[in-house]
Amino acid sequence: MASNLFDLSGTVAAVLGGTGALGGAMADALAAAGAKVAIVGRSVTRGGQRVKAIEAAGGVAKFALADARNLDSLRDCRDGIAKELGPISVLVNAAGGNRPEATLPPGADFCDLPLEAWQDVFDLNLVGGALLPCQAFGEAMLEAGSGSVINIASMAGMTPLSRVVAYSAAKAAVINFTQFLAREWATRGVRVNAISPGFFPAEQNRKLLFNDDGGYTERGGQIIGHTPMARFGDPSELAGAVVWLASQKASSFVTGQNIVVDGGFSATTI
């Protein structure tokens, strides 16, 4: 039945970065579809808030403390989740972000970009945002012979956006890594895909997109002008993509793909 394609009852999902706006919205969607959801992160306060929100909506969730850049921490987290909720079959890697030190101000010289800032952005988005979580949680999925890994890439990984060179390069690497791992694990029951959100206002990019009076900044206006739908995305609009990719029944023959949710931004060249 088509109505059962997106039923995640009996599924356990781990959402790294589930305390953030986009990761939290995806965690909400997975829980609403019936999955038991582990919010994985470092902030007990924000993690607890997300768990309470999911429980208030009738879902099942728990917070799991972990350092995404430490493999042992992730393995301990994985084992703890499995003990409390059951074996994990869905992994969403939504941890990531940019750093002010790695963003070039207007007119800045790329040659002056600090190496430390570049490395930090790569560690945050590629190492902790995909590589190590896939190693830790992937071990259990491969042993079980089934699973869905969903890496969160970015529009910046598809088109090198001005100023955020380190972030763009790191997210491009996430897309490439997703395709590599999909090939590696395709015959072992584990699917690996990515979602590339377009522009979704959140805490870390709000000042880049909006002035204090609520109007668009110059950059925000440029983005809206380049987006056929003429608006930014709402985090809830990622729900369909993440639930589809999480569902073995709905996307069993889908792997190595980068699903774009951008209001048409990537379809516009002028």
The tally of domains found in the chain comes to: 2
User: What's the pTM value of the predicted model, to 2 decimals?
Assistant: 0.94
Are 184 and 251 members of one domain?
yes
Are 220 and 237 members of one domain?
no
Q: pLDDT (tens digit, 9 = 90+) per residue, 6-36? A: 999 999 999 999 999 999 999 999 999 999 9
CA distances from 261 to 72, 143, 197, 234, 258 (A): 33, 32, 5, 10, 10
Q: pLDDT (tens digit, 9 = 90+) per residue, 150-182? A: 999 998 899 887 788 999 999 999 999 999 999
Average pLDDT value over all residues in the chain: 94
Beta pairing partners, 61: 37
Q: Is residue 227 part of a domain?
A: yes
DSSP, residue by residue, 85-98 = T----EEEE-----
Range of the domain at 215: 207-231
**How far does Cα 242 stand from its chain's mean position?**
9
Catalytic machinery residues: 167
Q: Is residue 270 part of a domain?
A: no
Q: Is residue 149 part of a domain?
A: yes
Query: What residues have CB less than 8 Å from 8, skipping those under 6 apart?
Result: 30, 33, 34, 35, 90, 243, 246, 247
Are 78 and 158 members of one domain?
yes
